[in-house]
């Protein structure tokens, strides 16, 4: 019992020494973001990422577009504006069109699929002549998008999937950085989220929930590692169960395993990670299917993790260039 009290005192001490700065930071930034929302009712940052990937990647992809592709982008944006649809709708359409046809009005496709969005006349999208007409196809895409429940509150690629119903739903996320770049440059939207420069540019700021997740994770220090630990108790943890329970405590649901958790939020360059963001390690850093470990960044170059058998939950320093560290971090809940 005496040793348990000592461990508990040490945990409290570490939380006080290491966690206060991180928690204070995320709570302060959440308050700043709330202030931005009050001052600009069109603020949309809380709805999720509008871009991801390394800085500049979207501009590089956009620079490689052909004249035909650029004209399609311009038409998507023009019709979106005419219909008074928000920039997020333009982005959904750009990502869908780039994925389905490379933003070209193709006269061929899988089975009877045609046009920019590979619409199938046999499935009620229109006649072959109609779906080959860019103006018709773009308007039809927007018609269906507007019928998707809560489409404005999803990541753009998820809304594209809801319209297209592809067998490969993850494909649409690939073009997120490029589409975000295009709605800024072609659509002349200086601040696509509507929340100003002070709230993380195109990525939502860390949230109050992140602070709550950090508090929970830090309070579990010293508890044993157990592979496949139950998520219904706090006697022991593996890496992903610690992350799941920390964010569950904050009201955010994460999948059970680390590979799935990589898909459960906004992606950002790992060097830009903020307190509460999740970091991942993979046998092949370029292949998310090989992810085998997850930890929580708490600021000041440190993480909290349940690392391996024989090592209790602990804090350790992290180096951005260390072996197997994936180049993207994840911000849960956005």
Residues 55 and 182 grouped into a single domain: yes
Domain boundary among 192, 220, 247: 192
Beta-bridge partner residues of 72 = none
**For residue range 10-61, what is the model confidence (pLDDT) as tens digits?**
433 444 444 444 444 443 444 344 333 333 333 343 333 455 444 455 778 8
Residues 156 and 112 grouped into a single domain: yes
Between the CA of residue 112 and those of 89, 118, 172, 198, 291, what are the distances in Å?
A: 26, 8, 21, 48, 38
Residues 247 and 323 grouped into a single domain: yes
Average pLDDT over residues 156-172: 88
Tokens 């360059």, residue? 269
Residues 175 and 302 grouped into a single domain: no
Residue 42 lies in a domain: no
Residues 281 and 313 grouped into a single domain: yes
Residues 282 and 320 grouped into a single domain: yes
Give residue 29's pLDDT. 42
Active site residue 233: no
Domain boundary among 192, 218, 233: 192
Residues 181 and 142 grouped into a single domain: yes
Domain boundary among 158, 192, 226: 192
**For residue range 105-154, what is the model confidence (pLDDT) as tens digits?**
999 988 998 999 999 999 999 999 999 999 999 999 999 999 999 888 77
Give the residue, 195 or 253, on which the prediction is more confident.
253
Give residue 191's pLDDT. 52
Q: From the candidates 233, 305, 314, 322, which is the catalytic residue?
A: 305
Output the six-digit token pair for 285. Answer: 């850093």
Active site residue 305: yes
What global pTM score does this model have?
0.49
DSSP state string for 208-222: HHHHHHHHHHHHTTT
The domain tally of the chain equals: 2
Q: What is the mean pLDDT of the chain?
A: 80
- Measuring CA to CA, which residue among 244, 215, 206, 241 is closest to residue 334? 206
Domain CATH number, residue 60: 1.10.530
Residues 151 and 216 grouped into a single domain: no
Average pLDDT over residues 226-239: 93
Residue 258 lies in a domain: yes
Domain CATH number, residue 212: 3.90.1720.10
Q: How confident is the model at residue 283 (pLDDT cuts 50, 70, 90)?
A: very high
Find the domain containing 182 and state its range.
51-192
Give residue 166's pLDDT. 86
**For residue range 243-258, what is the model confidence (pLDDT) as tens digits?**
999 999 998 988 899 9
Q: Environment class of residue 152 by beta-carbon count within 10 Å: exposed (0-12), middle (13-18) or buried (19+)?
A: middle
Residues 129 and 231 grouped into a single domain: no
Residue 6 lies in a domain: yes
**For residue range 58-84, what is the model confidence (pLDDT) as tens digits?**
778 899 999 999 999 999 999 999 999
Residue 43 lies in a domain: no
Q: From the candidates 239, 249, 285, 322, which is the catalytic residue?
A: 239
Residues 240 and 271 grouped into a single domain: yes
Give residue 51's pLDDT. 53
Residues 82 and 109 grouped into a single domain: yes
Residue 46 lies in a domain: no
Give residue 207's pLDDT. 72
Residues 265 and 225 grouped into a single domain: yes
């Amino acid at each position: 019992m005496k040793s348990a009290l000592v461990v508990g005192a040490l945990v409290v001490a570490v939380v006080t020494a290491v966690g206060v700065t991180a928690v204070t930071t995320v709570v302060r930034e959440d308050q700043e973001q709330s202030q931005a929302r009050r001052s600009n009712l069109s603020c949309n940052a809380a709805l999720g990422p509008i871009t991801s990937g390394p800085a500049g990647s979207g501009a590089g992809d956009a620079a490689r577009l052909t004249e035909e592709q650029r004209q399609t982008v311009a038409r998507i944006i023009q019709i979106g504006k005419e219909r008074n649809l928000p920039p997020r709708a333009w982005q959904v359409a750009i990502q869908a069109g780039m994925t389905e046809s490379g933003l070209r009005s193709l006269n061929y496709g899988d089975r009877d699929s045609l046009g920019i969005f590979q619409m199938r006349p046999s499935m009620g999208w229109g006649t072959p002549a109609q779906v080959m007409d860019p103006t018709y196809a773009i308007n039809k895409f927007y018609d269906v998008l507007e019928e998707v429940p809560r489409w404005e509150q999803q990541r753009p690629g998820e809304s594209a999937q809801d319209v297209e119903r592809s067998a490969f739903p993850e494909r649409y996320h690939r073009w997120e950085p490029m589409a975000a770049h295009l709605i800024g440059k072609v659509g002349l939207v200086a601040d696509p989220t509507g929340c100003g420069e002070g709230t993380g540019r195109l990525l939502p700021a860390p949230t109050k929930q992140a602070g709550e997740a950090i508090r929970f994770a830090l309070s579990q220090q010293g508890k044993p590692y157990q592979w496949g630990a139950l998520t219904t108790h706090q006697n022991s943890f593996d890496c992903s169960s610690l992350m799941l329970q920390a964010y569950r405590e904050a009201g955010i649901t994460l999948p059970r395993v680390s590979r799935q958790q990589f898909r459960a939020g906004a992606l950002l360059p790992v060097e830009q990670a903020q307190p509460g963001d999740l970091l991942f390690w993979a046998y092949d850093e370029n292949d998310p299917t090989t992810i085998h470990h997850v930890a929580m960044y708490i600021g000041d170059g440190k993480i909290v993790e349940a690392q391996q058998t024989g090592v209790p939950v602990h804090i350790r320093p992290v180096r951005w260039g260390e072996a197997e560290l994936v180049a993207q971090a994840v911000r849960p809940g956005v």
